[in-house]
Amino acid sequence: MAEALAIREAIFDANSRKFSSVLIQSDSLQIIQAINSGSPLSELHGVLGDISKSSVNFSSVSFKFIPRTENIVADSLAQQTLSEFVRNTG
């Protein structure tokens, strides 16, 4: 869940900054596969739907899997995003 929320926030932020191209890298193979295949995971349906809808605003957008050892910064952002989400909804 944290990784999907972080990806959604990154897409929203890139849209607000009017980026034309975006590369999202994640160590969550399951989420990257769900985004790329268009087959959302039931527990993340709304979040993945937001990602899909917001992605059409870019001329180029890529979602790629990378191993966790190469993804320390994104993992930290995902944990921070989850903490903020829990604080705001709890």
Is the pLDDT at 74 greater than 70, yes or no?
no
More confident residue, 27 or 11: 11
Q: Per-residue pLDDT tens for 16-71?
A: 999 999 999 998 999 999 999 987 677 788 899 999 999 999 999 999 999 878 76
pLDDT of residue 90: 61
- Using CA atoms, how far apart are residues 26 and 87, in angstroms rounded to an integer? 23
Helix (H, G, I), strand (E, B) or coil at 64: strand
pLDDT of residue 38: 82
Look up the pTM and report it.
0.74
- Using CA atoms, how far apart are residues 12 and 54, in angstroms rounded to an integer? 7
